[in-house]
């Protein structure tokens, strides 16, 4: 465009170029260079083109570079900048058309025509710019939703891994502690009482098989298709509900058989929530396991479940001198942390520590939804 304009300007001016033609040529080159960077600085380019309109083209209300600059400002700088640029361009265009007007009517006609053309360029730019901004907003929203989805999936994986880690800890720690205690008892009774020694070994095998069954059920939940492919050894274990209040008696009896003088005391009715019952079961299991591993010769280990309106309290206490009373036990730390996470799901608290006069106590208090219980 600039080349065509300069050729036409040279042809009209003849062999001797007047100073005004040189000024016009220089302004045209500056405007052309400015239009090359109009997307990066549209408002600056609009100012350059408007100034060039007054300097190089007096008597004209608009030029093509001004219309292009208005369109670019509307597309890349938003609606507010577009209307501001339009007002400035209309004002400068009206001033630029005044010197060449023969009368007020002709000036008004030229100024009105240029204003209409500028308004049309601005409206087209606003329409195109709004569409570009709308598409960009949709793309950004899609990217944000994708990031949130990935974050939620990662959080779900971390939560599930924590839950599985707690379940694995509870199963393995309980089973191994009971099996070690039974094996030690069987070894001690091997010569004195072979029959009791064999009974202890049978209990070791039973505990081991039960632990393997629980592990298979837990790992079966992790598999993508647990029912599509059977166990090659023919030992498929059907999925069953997690342990709850009905298994507490058997749990306490298993520790009693391992040599821990544990007894169960129940006050009130245990809530029917399966999740809450599983939490109670794991609290009792972990606490009795720690008592079996760390208490020295306890004479009484009491498991109390106390139900009051709106609250369930679980207390496990022993009177043995706990090995973790003087030194923090890293082995028991993971279990206590897992129990606190379980209890926190029911707006509860768990406190574990030494009892006055020796022994160890775990006290968990959880909130019970009475409305759900009545329903």
In a domain, residue 160? The reply is: no
In a domain, residue 225? The reply is: no
- DSSP states of 41-82: SHHHHHHHHHHHHHHHSTT-S--HHHHHHHHHHHHHHHHHHH
Triad 279, 287, 277: Cα angle to 5°? 20
Distance from CA of residue 247 to its chain's centroid? Answer: 37
Structural tokens at position 87: 């007002």
In a domain, residue 157? The reply is: no
136 and 10, same domain (yes or no): yes
Give the residue from 140, 169, 198 where a domain finishes. 140
| pLDDT tens readout for residues 244-290 | 888 899 889 888 888 889 999 999 888 888 888 888 988 998 888 88
127 and 257, same domain (yes or no): no
In a domain, residue 231? The reply is: no
pLDDT at 291 over 60: yes
Structural tokens at position 335: 């279990």
Which residues contact residue 118 at a Cβ distance below 8 angstroms, ignoring those fewer than 6 apart?
A: 62, 66, 67, 70, 86, 89, 90, 93
What is the span of the domain harbouring residue 292?
A: 244-375
| pLDDT tens readout for residues 71-95 | 888 888 888 888 888 888 888 777 7
Give the residue from 111, 140, 169 where a domain finishes. 140
**What CATH number is attached to the domain comprising 340?**
3.30.565.10
Euclidean distance between CA atoms 26 and 33, whole angstroms: 11
126 and 13, same domain (yes or no): yes
Counted residue by residue, the chain has a size of 375
Give the residue from 107, 140, 173 where a domain finishes. 140
In a domain, residue 115? The reply is: yes
pLDDT at 222 over 60: no
In a domain, residue 208? The reply is: no
In a domain, residue 107? The reply is: yes
The structural domain count of the chain equals 2
pLDDT at 42: 85
pLDDT at 371: 64
Confidence of residue 142 (pLDDT cuts 50, 70, 90): very high
In a domain, residue 167? The reply is: no
Euclidean distance between CA atoms 321 and 335, whole angstroms: 20
């Amino acid at each position: 465009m600039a080349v065509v304009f300069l050729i036409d300007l040279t042809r009209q001016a003849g062999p001797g170029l007047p100073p005004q033609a040189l000024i016009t040529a220089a302004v045209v080159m500056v405007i052309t260079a400015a239009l090359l960077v109009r997307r990066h600085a549209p408002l600056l380019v609009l100012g350059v083109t408007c100034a060039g309109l007054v300097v190089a083209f007096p008597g004209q209300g608009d030029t093509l570079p001004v219309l292009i600059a208005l369109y670019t400002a509307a597309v890349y700088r938003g609606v507010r900048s577009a209307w501001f640029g339009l007002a400035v361009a209309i004002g400068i265009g009206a001033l630029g058309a005044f010197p060449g007007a023969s009368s007020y009517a002709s000036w008004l006609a030229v100024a009105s025509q240029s204003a209409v053309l500028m308004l049309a360029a601005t409206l087209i730019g606003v329409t195109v710019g709004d569409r570009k901004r709308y598409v960009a907003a949709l793309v950004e929203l899609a990217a944000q939703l994708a990031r949130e989805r990935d974050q939620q999936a990662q959080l779900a994986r971390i939560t599930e891994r924590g839950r599985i880690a707690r379940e694995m800890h509870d199963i393995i720690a309980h089973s191994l502690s009971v099996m070690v205690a039974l094996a030690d008892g069987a070894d001690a009774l091997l010569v004195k009482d072979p029959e009791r020694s064999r009974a202890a070994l049978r209990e070791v095998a039973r505990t081991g098989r039960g632990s393997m069954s629980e592990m298979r059920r837990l790992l079966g939940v992790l598999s993508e298709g647990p029912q599509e492919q059977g166990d090659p050894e023919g030992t498929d274990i059907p999925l069953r509900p997690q342990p709850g209040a009905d298994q507490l008696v058997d749990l306490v009896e298993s520790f009693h058989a391992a040599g821990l003088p544990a007894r169960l005391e129940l006050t009130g009715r245990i809530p029917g929530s399966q999740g809450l019952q599983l939490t109670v079961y794991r609290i009792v299991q972990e606490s009795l396991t720690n008592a079996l591993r760390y208490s020295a010769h306890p004479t009484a280990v009491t498991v109390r479940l106390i139900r009051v309106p709106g609250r369930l309290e679980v207390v496990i206490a022993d009177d043995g001198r706990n090995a973790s009373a003087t030194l923090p036990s890293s082995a028991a730390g993971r279990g206590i942390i897992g129990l606190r996470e379980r209890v926190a799901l029911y707006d509860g608290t768990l406190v574990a520590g030494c009892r006055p006069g020796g022994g160890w106590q775990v006290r968990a208090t959880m909130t019970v939804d009475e409305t759900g219980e009545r329903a």
